[in-house]
């Protein structure tokens, strides 16, 4: 398989995780080689993420190492929709989910090149639930689109990575198991994970457990009744893609728009 201009996209979405990206983004950009990009989505942050990116990483946007999308319509937090948006914007033939709290190395890029040439999904998990590494999954872009991406019908967070993992297995595919990560993810508390859902701190743990259980059971039910392919339309977003106003619709079409086309604020 010949390598296209962009053969690998690391897909990252963030909502008010600037404190994590200050540790990870510069490190991760330094690990990229030719034909590799990071796609970063600012999913409605209010912590100055976009300003920080443009102040510190404009050159990486200019040399196509970083693709940056700023969501401009009002969006409640939803992990599946945010992850899908980063994957949908990716230009690479092979996509790898990289949460904002995770690090990569040049060795990881080399390992993923082998998975890309083998045309196999890949997984780089420590085997320890809750350490932030389970979501490190890669796959050919055509497989991602065939599956319909992360299930956007699930509750805002919990179980979305497990759901996608199990749907890949249900297609009869085998994962390439990558070695453990060289650097552990930035530590998150349950309160950190639920910060965007306005959950009281004294009920955060129970709320997170409930969402996980609901999403896992929903995932099992949909897999049994509908199979692994999701045909629901993706969510529609408007925003700035490398500072250019665009709309990305439910069928994954991207088109320019005028700044005044949708008025001020409002969801789509």
What is residue 203's predicted lDDT score, i.e. its pLDDT? Answer: 81
Please answer whether residues 244 and 250 qualify as being in contact, where contact means their C-beta atoms are separated by less than 8 angstroms. Answer: no
What is residue 264's predicted lDDT score, i.e. its pLDDT? Answer: 44
What is residue 261's predicted lDDT score, i.e. its pLDDT? Answer: 57
Domain extent at residue 82: 8-256
In a domain, 267, yes or no: no
Q: How far apart are CA 12 and CA 87, in angstroms?
A: 8
In a domain, 196, yes or no: yes
In a domain, 245, yes or no: yes
In a domain, 40, yes or no: yes
Provide, rounded to the nearest whole percent, the portion of the chain with pLDDT above 90.
83
What average pLDDT does the segment 144-163 reach? Answer: 97
In a domain, 1, yes or no: no
Backbone angles phi, psi at 204, to 5 degrees: -60, -45
Please answer whether residues 122 and 138 qualify as being in contact, where contact means their C-beta atoms are separated by less than 8 angstroms. Answer: yes
218 confidence band (pLDDT: 50, 70, 90): very high
What is residue 173's predicted lDDT score, i.e. its pLDDT? Answer: 97
Say whether pLDDT at 1 is over 80.
no
189 confidence band (pLDDT: 50, 70, 90): confident
Say whether pLDDT at 259 is over 70.
no
260 confidence band (pLDDT: 50, 70, 90): low
What average pLDDT does the segment 243-261 reach? Answer: 87
What is residue 266's predicted lDDT score, i.e. its pLDDT? Answer: 41
Provide, rounded to the nearest whole percent, the portion of the chain with pLDDT above 70.
95
**Lowest-confidence segment of 80-84, 185-189, 236-240, 246-250 by average pLDDT:** 185-189
Say whether pLDDT at 183 is over 60.
yes
**Lowest-confidence segment of 102-111, 140-149, 185-194, 256-265 by average pLDDT:** 256-265
Q: Whose structure tokens read 């689109």?
A: 145
In a domain, 64, yes or no: yes
What average pLDDT does the segment 229-253 reach? Answer: 96
- Strand partners of residue 139: 95
In a domain, 261, yes or no: no
Please state the pTM of the whole predicted model. 0.94
221 confidence band (pLDDT: 50, 70, 90): very high
Say whether pLDDT at 82 is over 90.
yes
Q: How far apart are CA 225 and CA 176, in angstroms?
A: 28
Number of folded domains that form the chain: 1
Query: Got the DSSP string for 157-189?
Result: SSSHHHHHHHHHHHTT--PEEPPPPSSPPPP--
In a domain, 55, yes or no: yes
Max Cα-Cα span within the chain: 53
How high does pLDDT run on average in the chain? 93
Question: Domain containing 194 — which CATH number?
Answer: 3.90.550.10
Give the dihedral sign, CA 83/198/188/162.
negative
Say whether pLDDT at 236 is over 50.
yes
What is residue 190's predicted lDDT score, i.e. its pLDDT? Answer: 81
213-236 burial, b at 16+ Cβ within 10 Å, e below that, comes to: eebbebbeebbeeeebebeeebbe
What is residue 201's predicted lDDT score, i.e. its pLDDT? Answer: 73
């Amino acid at each position: 398989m010949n390598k296209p201009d962009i053969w690998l996209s690391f897909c990252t979405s963030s909502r008010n995780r600037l404190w994590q990206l200050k540790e990870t983004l510069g490190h991760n950009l330094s690990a990229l080689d030719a034909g590799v990009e990071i796609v970063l989505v600012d999913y409605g942050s209010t912590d100055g993420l976009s300003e920080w990116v443009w102040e510190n990483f404009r050159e990486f946007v200019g040399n196509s190492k970083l693709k940056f999308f700023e969501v401009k319509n009002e969006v409640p937090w939803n992990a599946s929709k945010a992850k899908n948006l980063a994957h949908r914007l990716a230009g690479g033939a092979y996509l790898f989910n990289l949460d904002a709290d995770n690090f990569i190395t040049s060795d990881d890029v080399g390992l993923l090149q082998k998975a890309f040439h083998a045309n196999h999904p890949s997984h780089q998990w420590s085997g320890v639930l809750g350490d932030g590494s389970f979501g490190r999954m890669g796959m050919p872009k055509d497989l991602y689109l065939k599956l319909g991406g992360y299930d956007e019908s699930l509750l805002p967070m919990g179980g979305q990575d497990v759901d996608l993992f199990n749907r890949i297995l249900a297609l009869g595919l085998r994962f390439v198991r990558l070695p453990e990560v060289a650097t552990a993810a930035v530590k998150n508390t349950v309160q950190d994970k639920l910060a965007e859902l306005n959950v009281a701190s004294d009920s955060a743990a129970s709320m997170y457990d409930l969402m996980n259980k609901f999403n896992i059971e929903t995932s099992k039910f949909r897999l049994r009744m509908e199979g692994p392919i999701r045909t629901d339309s993706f969510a529609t977003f408007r925003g700035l893609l490398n500072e250019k106003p665009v709309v990305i619709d439910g069928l994954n079409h991207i088109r320019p728009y005028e700044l005044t086309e949708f008025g001020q604020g409002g969801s789509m």
